[in-house]
Structure 1
Amino acid sequence: MGVKINFINPFGTDAYNGLIMETMSPYLTGGAELVVTNTKNCPENIDYYYSKHLIEEAIFESCIEAEKAGFDAVIVGCCYDPGVRVARELVDIPVIGPLEATMQMAPYYGHEYVLVTDHHKAVPYLRDMVRLYGEEAHCRKVDCIDWWVTDMIQDTAGVARDAVAAADKIRREAEADVCILGCTIISASHEKAIMEGTPRDVAILNPNTMALKMAQSLAELKQQGAYAISRRAYYQNLKDRNADEFAGVRRQFANRGK
């Protein structure tokens, strides 16, 4: 039986859903099903960290609802990997962060990589993510193309053009083997250009497809009884320790904004 994967765009708008679905669907195999959704009742722009933290609360709710709806895995569709680790505390299905998944797969493509993100504000944040994931030895540089997500959807061809140029330039400067496009919308824009005839450079890694394959693999392992999240420490669930306290927190969250 094929697995069912929920790609959750963390932006509180459906403006990006079609682009994601269009560019990820060709990579579905083995009867896997992809459903692209977005968060609700939260900011539409994750570029600023205040909005990002508000969005993360909506992500937690979306992951809980995805598990209830029968999804076998969730991808949180942003290379900030927003709320991913907290969401793993809340659900038993795999929760995939695109940046983490791609960093883990990058060594199969090249020994060292550069990370190209969207704008200058994201650069230091992703440098922190490199350290968090223990990738300082392999990530040679973090840089950007200076596009904002609300502009990208208006000109995906321009985003793809700038991303390819930046990937090539930064990779050569850093003497790295491959480049991770550290933004799901940059990656989708680049993938769309490939679908429209731009030659593929296999040294440019797409976090969307990497996350999809990671999600499918872990979901299939879970179906076969060979995957479970350890609740010993880091991902221990409050619900298991104190169900009443967990229910109270959930009620408080549900009343927000009413």
Structure 2
Amino acid sequence: MKIKVIMPIISDVFNDEINEEISSYAAETTEVGVCNLDYGPASVESEYDEALCIPNFLEKTIEAEKDGYDGVISLCFGDPGVKPAREVVDIPVVGAAEASMLFASLLAKSFSVVTVLPNVVPMIENISKTLGVNGNLASIRYVNIPVLEVVEKERLKASLFEEMIKAIEQDKAHALVLGCTGMMGVASDLHDQLKSKGYDVPVIDPTFAATKMLESIISMGIKQSRLTYMSPPSKLRK
């Protein structure tokens, strides 16, 4: 199968790492294509940023279907463009936040998201409500590190670990979700650190979650329902 991973930002700072990371856990038969936007925001850290990235994300998704891809991932924890994209293509489209929260809800009775900035907390809350898992959401914490700075892995891991301990001890979280798709390559280390403190809980990497969920959907031969995601009416659009 072929999956297209679209970074809904104009920066290519994560592209090589994403390609390497996904290729390490995708099935051997899965071909992965990674791209970023031609126009839009440098990162998604607000509703405004998300609105700016959606037009080109939709164009890239339509192009991916024409190029023979079997599915698309919107690789941002705000899941930008996922719902409108499902209306205009006949291949499955998966968001990283949705996939992560569904896995977390399967594995634990409560979970916390640890994200980048306070700006995105309401966005994540809204996704949990739309998805129907807000009752399982113990808390949303943030490390106060901008998206484009999460490449500083040691600083990131130290800040995430501190907030994860608080989420477990204060918020009663039984699972943790990394709330940014740029937080790659740290989930396993954080799980081990937490386990050494007596907390053997899942730490879910959103990029990993989205990849495995999309592969499963494609393997099952299913896609989004046309009763939920109806094709847009034909009309003039400029």
Q: TM-score, normalised by structure 2?
A: 0.90
Alignment partner of 1:214 is 2:210: no
Corresponding residue SS for 1:122: helix
Partner of 2:46 in structure 1?
Answer: 48
**Could you say which structure has the larger radius of gyration?**
1
Partner of 1:230 in structure 2?
Answer: 225
Q: CA deviation at 1:231?
A: 2.1
Partner of 2:69 in structure 1?
Answer: 71
Which residue type is aligned with residue 12 of structure 2? Answer: D
CA distance in 1, matches of 2:154, 2:2: 30
8 Å CA contact retained: 2:70, 2:91: yes
Partner of 1:204 in structure 2?
Answer: 203
Alignment partner of 1:160 is 2:157: yes
Q: Deviations over 1:184-204 (max 9, x none)?
A: 112x1525x84xx99476521
Corresponding residue SS for 1:185: coil
Q: Deviations over 1:175-224 (max 9, x none)?
A: 121111111112x1525x84xx99476521111111000110111222xx
Partner of 1:256 in structure 2?
Answer: none
8 Å CA contact retained: 1:163, 1:190: no
- Give 2:186's match in structure 1, choosing from 182, 187, 190: 190
CA distance in 1, matches of 2:153, 2:185: 5
Gaps of 5+ in 1: 253-258
Partner of 1:139 in structure 2?
Answer: 137
Q: CA deviation at 1:108?
A: 3.3
Change (3 A) 1:67 1:200: farther
- Equivalent residue runs for 1:1-258 within 5 Å: 3-153=1-151, 155-186=152-183, 188-191=184-187, 194=189, 199=192, 203-222=202-221, 227-232=222-227, 234-238=228-232, 241-242=233-234, 245=235, 248-249=236-237, 252=238
8 Å CA contact retained: 2:217, 2:223: no
Corresponding residue SS for 2:118: coil
Q: TM-score, normalised by structure 1?
A: 0.83
Q: Could you tell me the percent identity over the aligned residues?
A: 28
Change (3 A) 1:200 1:57: farther
Gaps of 5+ in 2: 195-200
CA distance in 1, matches of 2:42, 2:172: 37
CA distance in 2, matches of 1:121, 1:169: 20
Change (3 A) 1:200 1:38: farther
CA distance in 1, matches of 2:150, 2:103: 26
CA distance in 2, matches of 1:21, 1:162: 25
What is the total number of aligned residue pairs between the two structures? 232
8 Å CA contact retained: 2:147, 2:180: no
Which residue type is aligned with residue 58 of structure 1? Answer: N
Q: CA deviation at 1:68?
A: 0.7
Change (3 A) 1:34 1:175: same
| RMSD of Structure 2 on Structure 1 (CA) | 2.0
CA distance in 2, matches of 1:156, 1:122: 21
